[in-house]
Amino acid sequence: MGDLGGLRRRLPYLADLGVDAVWITPWYPSPMADGGYDVADYRDIDPRFGTLADADALLAEAHALGLRVIVDLVANHTSEQHPWFAAALAAGPGSPERERYFFRDGRAGGAEPPNDWVSAFGGGAWTRVTEPDGHPGQWYLHLFAPQQPDLDWSTPQVADEFDAILRFWFDRGIDGVRVDAAPAMAKAPGLPDAGHAPGAAFESRNWVGNPHWDVDAVHDILRRWRRIGDSYGGDRLFVTEAVVNGPERLSRYVRPDEMHTTFNFDYLTSPWDAAALRQVVDSTLAALEPVGAPATWVFSSHDETRHVTRFGRAWTGAAFGGAALPASETDLELGLRRARAAALLTLALPGSAYVYQGEELGLPEVEDLPEEALQDPTWERSGRTVRGRDGCRVPLPWEGDRPPFGFTTGAATWLPQPAGWARLTAAAQHDDPGSTLSLYRAALRLRRRLRGTGMSWRDAPEGVLAFDRGPRFRCVVNLAAEPVDLAGQGEVLLASGPCGAELPADTAVWLAPGG
Ligand code: NOJ
């Protein structure tokens, strides 16, 4: 969390980094019960971030630097402070105002929730309201926090409103939209029980035929939005967040008349293991090929433990949403070596790649935030057992030798930065050819020459991934314990760590074959 003034000031940094676009998480007025994913007004900017005029200036300045801007659309739910929800509470049962959300009578005479659905942040997905007459009354649905009531997309006014919101932002000049929680937007008619066991976790990647996730009617909404995006011409991009059951279900979100791209959680959550990663790459490309959609690749996000930290643990995979992982020691030196190799893998794959802010600096997860600083609703909803996602959201260090490292002119950032980040600042890394920032800058530049080339795997020893992109580019990633011989593979273009005739463990290299 920063502000639009700060973001504008750092746009040249992003252009210099070499990215094509910037995705901004929700910037709308919000009580911030879930990092802005609880929107109170979809047509304005939260005052703590700036104004609509700042957003316009940001768009103009980004475009002048050749950067596109993607904004986040949170359409499954509003904030409890959205005027529609206030009106629904005030209007009472049976009112048209309540039809924009899911208000239902409880079971067992009203005392029990209407069904067994669960919240992504732990616990049940229903909260009971006090009616205007002061008595306990109906329940409303929230697949996330209670401060995020779900909208009922079968109510025409909801769909019409979001058409208008999309047009509002396309008219202002945004280049694309990231669709939050896309699989949540449709629910099975009648809201039947899901059959969840008591205390069930929110494990949407395992759900098949679930009544509150990945229900087919969601695709009607996506088709409607695609028509609006297309009506603006140019390269307007949609990317969905869809944590669903396997690549085939995921491919439905990117059929030709739906979204252009979708995040790839199988890759994000994969362990640092050659066979597992190859399997994810193959199944992703195979599932997307029939619908003609490009793949996307990402290892970190604002919802996930940073991969420098994950890759330094015994269990290197991830559990989406900051769930508790088996405790183990973290070797950050090993994690960073692997994360640098992972950068060369990710940026060599065909399709789009996402870099999560600070990843290019090699930032680790901040695992020792004081409890009183924690903001993620997961913390309270899990009875203070799951710390949640704050450790990856700590503002990045720009310059200087102590917090707030140039991020703010105030005394401190909203989540405190570790003092040890002095050696990781963008300023400290900028002119160091061996820094992680320099590696990302070089890779993002070289990557441009890969456009339009497919990939083909090469035979490689166990634990090694090797593939070509056309005749003049090869990527070799060594995930095995032993070094691998590079003789005859070509001239080194870029390496994630020291490498000569042999590629050491947990190191990746880009080569020009025949060079
Ligand atoms: C996904 C977002 O990435 C996450 O940060 C948020 O908590 C949920 N959707 C709910 O909007």
> In the structure encoding, which two tokens stand for residue 349, read together?
């794959």
Residue 243 CB–ligand 1 contact under 6 Å:
no
**CA separation for the pair 266, 106 (Å, rounded):** 37
Distance of CA 57 to the CA centre of its chain: 25
Percent of the residues in the chain that have a pLDDT greater than 90, as a whole number: 93
C-alpha 180 to ligand 1 mean position (Å): 6
Q: Supply the residue whose CA is at minimum distance from atom 2 of ligand 1.
A: 180
Q: What is the mean pLDDT of residues 131-159?
A: 98
C-alpha 34 to ligand 1 mean position (Å): 7
Residue 241 CB–ligand 1 contact under 6 Å:
yes
Name the CA dihedral angle for 444, 280, 200, 123, rounded to a multiple of 10 degrees: 10
| 357-397 tens-digit pLDDT | 999 999 999 999 999 999 999 999 889 988 899 999 999 99
**CA separation for the pair 139, 113 (Å, rounded):** 7
Residue 303 CB–ligand 1 contact under 6 Å:
yes
Instruction: Give the pLDDT band (50/70/90) at residue 262.
Output: very high
Instruction: Note the CATH number of domain 454-512.
Output: 2.60.40.1180
| 491-507 tens-digit pLDDT | 999 999 999 999 999 99
In the prediction, which pLDDT does 324 show? Answer: 55
Q: Which atom of ligand 1 is nearest to the CA of 303?
A: 5
Residue 150 CB–ligand 1 contact under 6 Å:
no
Q: Do the first three CATH levels of 83-141 and 454-512 match, i.e. the same topology?
A: no
CB 194: neighbour CB atoms within 10 A? 18
C-alpha 344 to ligand 1 mean position (Å): 28
Residue 182 CB–ligand 1 contact under 6 Å:
no
Listed residue (390, 393, 418) closest to 404, CA to CA:
418
Name the residue of 27, 37, 119 to mutate for ligand 1: max ligand atoms within 8 A of Cβ: 37
Instruction: Work out whether strand 464-469 and strand 474-478 pair parallel, antiparallel, or are unpaired.
Output: antiparallel
Q: What is the mean pLDDT of residues 12-17?
A: 98
Q: What is the mean pLDDT of residues 112-137?
A: 96
Q: Residue 322: pLDDT above 50?
A: no
| 146-201 tens-digit pLDDT | 999 999 999 999 999 999 999 999 999 999 999 999 999 999 999 999 999 988 99
Residue 144 CB–ligand 1 contact under 6 Å:
yes
Residue 72 CB–ligand 1 contact under 6 Å:
no
Q: Which atom of ligand 1 is nearest to the CA of 76?
A: 11
> In the structure encoding, which two tokens stand for residue 33, read together?
């019960």
DSSP 9: H
Listed residue (71, 57, 52, 67) closest to 12, CA to CA:
67
Instruction: Give the pLDDT band (50/70/90) at residue 210.
Output: very high
Check whether domain 83-141 has CATH 3.90.400.10, yes or no: yes
In the prediction, which pLDDT does 159 show? Answer: 98
In the prediction, which pLDDT does 319 show? Answer: 64
Alpha-helix runs per DSSP H in 289-430: 307-310, 332-348, 377-381, 426-430
Instruction: Work out whether strand 68-73 and strand 21-24 pair parallel, antiparallel, or are unpaired.
Output: parallel
Q: What angle do CA 52, 55, 60 make, to 5 degrees?
A: 130
C-alpha 445 to ligand 1 mean position (Å): 31
Q: Residue 325: pLDDT above 70?
A: no
In the prediction, which pLDDT does 381 show? Answer: 86
Name the residue of 73, 78, 180 to mutate for ligand 1: max ligand atoms within 8 A of Cβ: 180
Name the residue of 27, 71, 144 to mutate for ligand 1: max ligand atoms within 8 A of Cβ: 144
Q: Supply the residue whose CA is at minimum distance from atom 4 of ligand 1.
A: 303
Fold classified for 4-78+155-430: TIM Barrel (3.20.20)
94 phi-psi bin (left φ>0, alpha ψ -120 to 50, beta other): left
C-alpha 181 to ligand 1 mean position (Å): 7
C-alpha 302 to ligand 1 mean position (Å): 9
What residue ranges do the domains of the chain occupy? 4-78+155-430, 83-141, 454-512
Q: Supply the residue whose CA is at minimum distance from atom 5 of ligand 1.
A: 303
Instruction: Work out whether strand 261-262 and strand 352-353 pair parallel, antiparallel, or are unpaired.
Output: unpaired
CB 92: neighbour CB atoms within 10 A? 16
C-alpha 515 to ligand 1 mean position (Å): 46
DSSP 352: E
Residue 34 CB–ligand 1 contact under 6 Å:
yes
C-alpha 65 to ligand 1 mean position (Å): 29
Q: Residue 323: pLDDT above 90?
A: no
Q: Supply the residue whose CA is at minimum distance from atom 6 of ligand 1.
A: 37
C-alpha 265 to ligand 1 mean position (Å): 14
In the prediction, which pLDDT does 327 show? Answer: 65
What residues contact residue 417 under an 8 Å CB cut-off, 6+ apart?
366, 394, 395, 397, 403, 404, 405, 407
| 65-102 tens-digit pLDDT | 999 999 999 999 999 999 999 999 999 999 999 999 99
Residue 33 CB–ligand 1 contact under 6 Å:
no
Distances (CA, A) of 282 to 209, 465, 511: 25, 12, 22
Q: What is the mean pLDDT of residues 224-242?
A: 95
C-alpha 239 to ligand 1 mean position (Å): 14
Q: Supply the residue whose CA is at minimum distance from atom 3 of ligand 1.
A: 303
Q: Which residue has the tokens 């999309």?
A: 166
Asked if 21 and 238 count as a contact pair (C-beta separation under 8 A), the reply is no
CB 353: neighbour CB atoms within 10 A? 21
Mean pLDDT of the residues in the chain? 96
| 432-460 tens-digit pLDDT | 999 999 999 999 999 999 999 999 999 99
Q: Residue 420: pLDDT above 70?
A: yes
Residue 49, phi then psi, degrees to nearest 5: -100, -25
